[in-house]
Structure 1
Amino acid sequence: MNTLKTPGVYIIEKNAFPNSVVEVATAVPAFIGYTEKAKNGSKSLINLPFRISSLAEYEQYFGKAPRKDFRLVKTDVNSLGLSALKDPGKFDAVKNWTEAIFKPSEPDDIQYYGLTRNYQFNLYYQLHFFFANGGGPCYIVSVNEGYKQDSFSYDALVGGIEPLLKEQEPTMVVIPEAVYLEEQECYDLQTAMLRHCATMGNRIAILDIYNGDQSRTDSEAGDVITTFREKIGTEFLNYAAAYYPWLNTAIISEKNLGIHSVSNIEDLQNILKSEAVFQKDEKRTQQLLNLAGRITKEGPESPSEKEEIHRILLQQSVAYATIMKKIAHDINLLPPSSAMAGIYTLVDSTKEVWKAPANIGLSSVISPSVTISHADQEDLNLPPDGKAINAIRYFTGEGIIVWGARTLDGNSLDWRYINVRRTMIMLEESIKCAARAFVFEPNTANTWVIVRSMVRNFLTGIWKRGGLAGAVPEDAFIVSIGLGETMTPEDILEGIMRITVLVAIVRPAEFIEITFQQQMQKS
């Protein structure tokens, strides 16, 4: 205050209220993966976390899905025999269209085709899934511009984690394409995600199960859950949650695909010409031959004309419709991590972060790829090693429900539940940001009173909203600060202010037991 030297009236304003704690955002995922492009004007966005809030923004800066996803591959089935051709489990869904068209008595003179996927890039479809399930603002870290199969690697994806060290806002890390790497590379990437989350201390990783579209008794994949538990390690497990199984979704329909979905047009032509030969209607035969001739590499460049050909073929060609159905099925089989990021966002915006993200229906989902029963879930939820896997199950009359809310650190009474971990992160980060204003302030009783009031006011508000358990605020939290309470004279001399906060975070009612007993008739 300036020294008063001139006669007059002076006004002095004093703050009547302490600083407030602003609650940090709790549902901002960071997606790492491959994109069609990565540009903001002329500026490259490769390995640069970029915030978006809608799918339209994603398409503007990062493009769309890869084209020519699939390739028709000639398959020799003579060695399988007719019995194998009649078994869908042995010869995939491809036989559905070949038998439906040709109805062969002998397969010797018939060329069969299988479908193989050229690319494993599915971040675009995962963003569809995220926004369909309540997603909001998120960060995208593009690790490569353009879909090039030889660029799909562990090194590129793990390299997308480091740029997030400079970002404070993200609270979740999701890498959906991790499960398309080699098995060991997938687990190495997921453990790198755990280390990153523990280092930052303000985010969690949402993990998918490698081969999570297979059951635990699959003859080739083996017990996918046991393998996951063995290879995920034992460190930083309270910063992660895992979900099983993968999901058959409705993100893309056959109508949204097209001729561009198949890379080898010549083989597609051959299939259509073969189908045309077996038509009884001469007019339909000619129509299929004409359409087959129009889809050459030098065919129509107009998107509208390609769309028209695609629409007609879906109606007129059994083979083409079956190919598109198979492609849509493969694209729509997605790991659930992006949908769960959307569910976290939905819960946080409609309820609160301390509400467990479970017992909630999933949108754009047709079915889980594996049916899980009550007995099947026992080992998923309560394994001896504590590495709980959250199940996604179908319930009659309710649909597809998230039926688990545990972290991978299930044996810890502190960090067993996802909502407890995420609520504590929110409290820690909110109070940390508010306390930064007191760095270099006098470490005296006046400052301690202000800090205590600030933290108490914030926690009282959380308690009133239901985030802390207790009949009165004193039961819900305790804030301690001061000389002889949290600090020694040596601490003050060294410039250390210590604040101790104890909180009673609400926990979910995971098991509800209702007891029934008969009583004597009273009248």
Structure 2
Amino acid sequence: MTGLTPGVYPVNVLPAAPPNFLTGVPAFVGRAPTGPGTPRRLTLWPEFEAVFGGPAEGFLHDAVRGFFENDGVACYVVRLADTDPAAPSPDELERALAALEEVDDVDLVCAPDLAAAWRPGSAIDTVTGPQRALLRHCRDRGDRFAILDCLATDDPGIAAGQRDALNATDGAAGSYGALYHPWLRVGDRDGRPRHVPPCGHIAGVYSRGDRRVGVHKAPANEVVEGALDLRSDLTAEQAGELYARAVNCVRALPGRGIRVWGARTLSDDPAWRDVSARRVVANVHRWVERFMRGLVFEPNDIRLWVRIMRELTAYLDGLFQRGALKGRTAEEAFFVKCDSETNPGPVVDAGMVVTEIGVAPSAPAEYIVVRVIQGASGVTINAV
């Protein structure tokens, strides 16, 4: 190259790539014959049997197999130490969830053995109590979503009652999970049919949709691979009644196979009713948290505020271009505000940076405001 001072060479410096991550990555919590009690990442079905052994009491084996049968890419497995086939103890479940706190890759949580604790005539709370612990875990983190199994029942009324019980004590956590009914009929390694909770297969459907379209794709009207039949066949009327009660159905449709027929969270709040809306915001949460980690100890002035607005605007515009946000223009789809209004003198003096983000997910197309506060204790993200 000519025209350069001798000894001076051009160097192309590219900006650092924005943080990126795989979505549709579930953590499965359940019983297995062997294996570690700490989270283990798996990318192939044979890895599960090599690490955790073959089928055991419970449904962890079936859930992980169903995940990979439905084009799941990667998952984590946490083995419960409990040997009680009735239900994992609260302490053991909390230990497993605590072990997942340090795993950044996970955005879905499944515990297929929880629903197996119920028997006809027993109290629903034996299942809904531990399932609420999963919902609280996802709510407290803000970046995970629980895929929950209905009880092993043919009665749609019991399934609807389970949903009401899950939402009874903490409705705010309900938007962080979805409930699926009925159980699936699959073949085991000996070819004998058995009924299993649907969460593993459903998690694979989530992963498949994320990879093909993105987290804004509703995980519904998708074929469930690996299922031979259903524990019960729901009529269109029954499925409609359950969907109105925020229970997602799996249906056998003539000529179309077995499909997921619903994408509702447990929440009564219209803004958080759709699974895709919650997962889009959870995805924004994950991205913002990772981006903001790189800004710790930066001078808290207008230059930092402009940088935050520039990077977040570029990221949200990418979501808008992919169809995750609704609006004719980017201005209608989202906003980012980080200036002297969100950061008055007392906030700056306290060592915090406050950013407000508004997004309109493609469903339900209403603004959801996210408040991001960065301080000495880390990043706090609240969706309001």
TM-score, reference length from structure 2: 0.85
The answer to whether 1:354 aligns with 2:216 is yes
Q: 1:363 to 1:12 in 2, by over 3 A?
A: closer
Provide Cα deviations, 1:392-426, integer angstroms capped at 9, x if missing partner. Answer: 112222111111000000x3122110011111111
When residues 227 and 504 of structure 1 are mapped into structure 2, their CA distance, relative to the original with a 3 A threshold, is: closer
The equivalent of 2:348 in structure 1 is: 492
Backbone CA RMSD of aligned residues: 2.4
Matched, 1:63 2:53: yes
Q: Is residue 88–residue 114 contact of structure 2 (8 Å, CA) maintained in 1?
A: no
Does residue 28 in structure 1 map to residue 18 in structure 2? no
- Following TM superposition, the consecutive aligned residue runs of length 4 or more in structure 1 with deviations greater than 6 angstroms are 8-16
What is the identity, as a one-letter code, of the residue corresponding to 1:248? R
Point out where structure 1 has 5 or more consecutive residues left out of the alignment.
1-7, 39-44, 67-119, 217-222, 258-324, 510-523
Q: Quick one: distance in 2 between partners of 1:451 and 1:506?
A: 24
For residues 49-60 of structure 1, the aligned pairs below 5 Å read 49-60=39-50
Describe the superposition over 1:473-516 as per-residue Cα deviations: whole angstroms up to 9, x where unpaired.
22221111111x3221222222221111111111179xxxxxxx
Q: Per-residue deviation at 1:215?
A: 2.5
Q: Which has the larger radius of gyration?
A: 1
Following superposition, the deviation at residue 16 of structure 1 comes to 7.9
More strand by share: 2
Q: Residues 11 and 446 (structure 1 numbering): CA distance in 2 closer, same or farther, change over 3 Å?
A: farther
Structure 1's 16 and 25: CA in aligned 2 closer, same or farther, altered over 3 A?
closer
Correspondences of 1:250-289 after superposition (within 5 Å) = 251-252=187-188, 256-257=189-190
| Unpaired runs of at least 5, structure 2 | 1-5, 119-123, 366-384
Is the CA contact (8 Å cut-off) linking 1:20 and 1:434 kept in structure 2?
A: no
Q: Secondary structure at the match of 2:48?
A: helix
> Which residues of 2 match residues 164-179 of structure 1 at below 5 A?
164-179=100-115
1:11 is displaced (CA, Å) by 8.5
Say yes or no: does 1:412 pair with 2:349: no
The Cα offsets for residues 286-313 of structure 1, whole Å up to 9 and x where unpaired, read as xxxxxxxxxxxxxxxxxxxxxxxxxxxx
Decide whether the 8 Å contact of 1:241 with 1:407 is kept in 2: yes
Instruction: Name the amino acid aligned to 1:393.
Output: R
- For 1:184, the aligned partner's letter is D
- The answer (yes or no) to whether the contact 1:24–1:426 under 8 Å persists in 2 is no
Q: Alpha-carbon deviation of 1:441?
A: 0.7
Match of 1:229 among 157, 163, 166: 163
Question: Which of 142, 156, 178 pairs up with 2:79?
Answer: 142
**Alpha-carbon shift at residue 35 of structure 1 (Å):** 0.9
Distance 1:353 1:248 in 2: 28
Identify the residue that residue 501 of structure 1 maps to in structure 2: 357
Instruction: Specify which of 121, 126, 136 is matched with residue 58 of structure 2.
Output: 121
Larger RCO (CA within 8 A; separation ≥ 6): 1
User: Deviation per CA, 1:358-407, whole angstroms, max 9, x where unpaired?
Assistant: 01111122222211122112321123xxxx00011122221111110000
Question: Per-residue deviation at 1:355?
Answer: 0.5
Deviations 1:275-334 (A, max 9, x none): xxxxxxxxxxxxxxxxxxxxxxxxxxxxxxxxxxxxxxxxxxxxxxxxxx7xx22xx211
Structure 2 residue corresponding to 1:365, chosen from 223, 227, 232: 227
Aligned residues: 351
Contact kept? 2:85, 2:117, Cα under 8 Å: no
Question: Does residue 215 of the first structure (1) align with residue 212 of the second (2)?
Answer: no
Identity %: 28
User: Paired residue for 2:240?
Assistant: 378
SS in 1 for 2:265: coil
For the pair 1:339 / 2:201, whether they are aligned, the reply is yes
| SS state at 2:81 partner | strand
Match of 1:461 among 318, 327, 342: 318
Query: SS state of the match for residue 335, structure 2?
Result: strand
Q: 1:11 to 1:404 in 2, by over 3 A?
A: same
SS of the aligned residue for 1:400 comes to strand
Q: Which residues of 2 match residues 398-477 of structure 1 at below 5 A?
A: 398-409=256-267, 411-477=268-334
The 3 A distance-change label for structure 1 pair 150 and 338 is closer
Name the residue aligned to 2:373.
Answer: none
Please tell me the residue identity of whatever aligns with 2:254.
T
- Quick one: distance in 1 between partners of 2:85 and 2:72? 31
Q: Aligned pair in 2 of structure 1 residues 149, 426: CA closer, same or farther (>3 Å)?
A: closer
Aligned residue in 2 for 1:197: 138
Q: What one-letter code is carried by the residue in structure 1 that aligns with 2:149?
A: D
SS of 2:348 mapped into structure 1: helix
Contact (CA 8 Å) 2:86, 2:117: kept in 1 or not? Answer: no
In structure 1, give the amino acid aligned to 2:138. C
Equivalent in the alignment of 1:395: 253
2:183 corresponds to which letter in structure 1? Answer: W
Deviation at 1:10?
8.1
- Shift of the alpha carbon at 1:13? 7.9
Which residue matches 2:116?
180
1:49 is displaced (CA, Å) by 0.9
What is the distance in 1 between the residues matched to 2:262 and 2:85? 37
Shift of 1:62: 0.9
In structure 2, the CA distance between the partners of 1:455 and 1:14, relative to structure 1 (3 Å rule), is farther
- Aligned equivalents of 1:496, 1:372: Cα separation in 2: 53
Say if 1:9 and 1:139 are closer, same or farther in 2 by CA, change over 3 A. same
Residue 238 of structure 1 aligns to a residue whose secondary structure is helix
Distance in 2 of aligned mates of 1:333 and 1:177? 13
